[in-house]
Amino acid sequence: MKKIIAVSFISTFLVLLSFYAVNAIILEQQKNKQLEISNTLLQYSEGLSQNVATALKSVTAQGCDKASLDNYRKLKLDSLYFSDIGFIENGKIACTAFWGKLTTPVSLPSELHKTPKGFTLVQFSQKDFFTGNAAIYNNIIIFTSRYAYDKFTPVTASYSLSSTTKDFGRTFFTVNPVIEKSNWLPSRFFTMTITQCSSRWDLCVIVKHHDAGLASLSIAIFILLTVVLYFIWISISLYSFRLYEDRFSLEKTLVKAVKANTIGVHYQPIVRPGDKKIVGVEVLSRWQDSNAMDVSPELFIPLIEKFGLYDNYYTNIIKKSFAEISSLANEHQLLISLNVGRIEIEDGMFNKILRRECLLNNIPLSLIKIELSEKAVAHHDILIDFCKELKSVGVKISIDDFGVQNSNIARLANLEYDEIKIDKSLVDGINESYKKDIFVIFCDALLKLNKTLVFEGVENETQYAFISSRYRDSLIQGWYFSKSLSRDELAKILTGSVDSPNR
C-alpha cells in the first residue's frame, strides 16, 4: 500500500512538472506569433501618431470662418483615420469640419494628458458629440476615427490588444476576445502578456494571449496528454522502485552471504600451450542472488568493500578455495593464483592468513601465486615490502592486467615478480593486422625481461595458434580452453575423465 501511495505521489508530481515543461514549450512557440502581432500593432500605432502629429502641425488655418472650415474638411477627407478636425477657442471646441460652427461650444474633458513633444491627448465620452480619442496642438484638435484599428480585430479570438500612453493612464485603443470565447482552463493562469513601448512617441502597446500554453489545447488532447504522461511516469516510477528494491534486496542478501560464507569459488585453468596441460588455476569468486541469478564480481565485490566486509570476504575465499583444491594442487602440482588489491596489501594480515591456510591444508607456498591486480594501487614502498615478504617464503608474484590502467612498465622497475599477465584488450589485437604488429613488438620486448608471459582472454583458434607458435614458453588463460570451473569439473578434466568443456 505504501508503495502504491508513493508511486502515485511521485508520478503526480512528475506529471505536474511535465505539464510545466510542456506549457513552457508551447508558450515559447506562441510567443513568436504574439511578438509579431505586438510589433505590427506598435508600428501601426507609431504611424498613426505620426500622421496625427504631422496633420496638426501642418494646419495653418486658425478659427471658424468658412475658409478655415473648408481647410479642416479637406484635411479630414485626405485621411481615413481622422474622424473630425476642429478649432479650440477659450478652452472650448468652437467648430469642427463635421459639425461646422457650434451653437454651443463643447468643453474639453477635465483630464488632459500632455506629451513630451507638446501635444495634448484627450478622451471624449459625449454620445451626442464624439466618443473616442483626440489630440490637440496649437488650438487645433484632431479626433481619431473609431475604425482606425479595425484591421486588428480578426486576431482577437485569442488575443486582447490595447494601445496606451507610457504611463498607461490614457488608452487610445483596446479590443478584447469575443464574449462567447471562454477558456476551459482559468485564463489568469494561462495568459501571456507582451508589452512594447515606442522610442519616438508616448505610447505603448499591450498584447495578451488569454488561452496560451496548455489552455490552447483542446480538452480531448489535454486528457490524452495527461493519460500518456501518467503512463510514462508510473512506469518509470515502478521500474525505479523495482531497481531500488532489487538493489536493497541484493545488498541484504550479499551481506548475509559474506557473513555466512556462502560465496562460492570457481577455478579458471591456466594452460601451457605446447601440450595443453593445465599448470595452474586462478581462484575466482562466484555468487548468486536470492533469485538464483549469477551476479558479476565487478558488482558485488565493490559492494562488499562498501559494507566494510572485504576482510571477511577475502579470508573466506582463501579458506574455501584452499580447502577445496589442496588435494588437486598437490597431486597435479597446480599453481594457485589469488588476486589481491589495496586492502590485502595494506591491512598487514594477508601474508599471515595466507601462510596459515597453506599450513592447515598442506599446500606448499611454492604453489601459491599472487596476482597484483589493477586495484593494487598501494603506496610504492608498501607494495615493494609486500612483494619482498612473499618472495622470501617462496610465493610467486604476477603483474596482472599488464598494459592497462595502473599495471604498466613503471611498475616493473623496483618490484620483485615472476610473471607478467598480458591483458585481454591486447590479446584481442591479434585478430587485426595493424594491432597484431603492435602486440608482437610489445610482447617481444617483455620477453627480454626473462619473465613468464601469461596471455589472458584467449578465446579463438587464431589467437591460440599465434601465441602457441610464437611464444611457446608462455601460458594462456581464456575461454578457448575453458571457462571457470567448479572443483569437481576441474577434477574431471585433470583426471582425463572428460574433455575441456570448450574443446
Residue 454 is predicted with a pLDDT of 93
CA angle 254, 258, 261 (to 5 degrees): 130
* pLDDT over threshold 60, residue 144: yes
**AA letter at 225:** L
Residue 423 Cα to chain centre, angstroms = 34
Residue 181 is predicted with a pLDDT of 47
Residue 280 is predicted with a pLDDT of 94
Per the model's pLDDT, the better-predicted residue between 157 and 179 turns out to be 157
DSSP string covering 135-204, please?
Answer: EEETTEEEEEPTTTTGGGGGGGGTEEEEEE-TTS-SEEEEE---TT---SS-GGGS-EEEEEE-SSSS-E
CA angle 141, 38, 193 (to 5 degrees): 110
**AA letter at 59:** V
Q: What is the mean pLDDT of the chain?
A: 84
Q: Of 314, 318, 316, 305, which is closest to residue 251 (Cα–Cα)? A: 305
SS3 86: strand
Residue 301 near residue 285, CB atoms below 8 Å: yes
Residue 171 near residue 132, CB atoms below 8 Å: no
pLDDT level of residue 499 (50, 70, 90 thresholds): low
Residue 77 is predicted with a pLDDT of 87
Residue 286 is predicted with a pLDDT of 92
- Residue 159 burial (10 A CB sphere; 0-12, 13-18, 19+): buried
Per the model's pLDDT, the better-predicted residue between 110 and 330 turns out to be 330
Q: In this structure, what are the phi and psi dihedrals at residue 296, rounded to the nearest 5 degrees?
A: -65, 140
Beta-carbon-side half-sphere exposure of residue 173 (alpha carbons within 13 Å): 27
Residue 180 is predicted with a pLDDT of 45
User: Can you tell me the mean pLDDT for 222-248?
Assistant: 79
pLDDT level of residue 128 (50, 70, 90 thresholds): confident
β-bridge mates for residue 395, sequence order? none
pLDDT in tens, 12-61: 888 888 888 888 888 888 888 889 888 988 898 888 888 888 888 888 87
User: Can you tell me the mean pLDDT for 68-77?
Assistant: 89
Residue 79 is predicted with a pLDDT of 85
Residue 191 is predicted with a pLDDT of 82
Domain ranges of the chain: 2-149, 261-494
User: Can you tell me the mean pLDDT for 99-117?
Assistant: 88
Residue 325 is predicted with a pLDDT of 94
* pLDDT over threshold 80, residue 162: yes
* pLDDT over threshold 80, residue 423: yes
User: Can you tell me the mean pLDDT for 120-148?
Assistant: 86
Residue 410 is predicted with a pLDDT of 56
Residue 179 is predicted with a pLDDT of 43
pLDDT in tens, 182-205: 455 555 567 888 899 988 888 898
pLDDT in tens, 246-299: 667 777 787 888 888 889 999 999 999 988 899 999 999 998 877 767 888 888
Residue 118 near residue 129, CB atoms below 8 Å: no
DSSP state of 433: H
pLDDT in tens, 438-471: 888 888 888 888 889 999 999 999 999 999 999 9
Question: Can you give the C-alpha Rg of the chain in angstroms?
Answer: 46
| CATH hierarchy code of domain 2-149 | 3.30.450
| CATH hierarchy code of domain 261-494 | 3.20.20.450
User: Can you tell me the mean pLDDT for 90-94?
Assistant: 90
**AA letter at 115:** T
* pLDDT over threshold 70, residue 495: yes
Give the separation between CA 387 and CA 397, rounded to whole angstroms: 7
Residue 476 is predicted with a pLDDT of 93
Residue 29 is predicted with a pLDDT of 84
pLDDT in tens, 357-416: 999 999 999 999 999 875 555 577 788 888 889 999 999 999 887 766 545 555 566 678
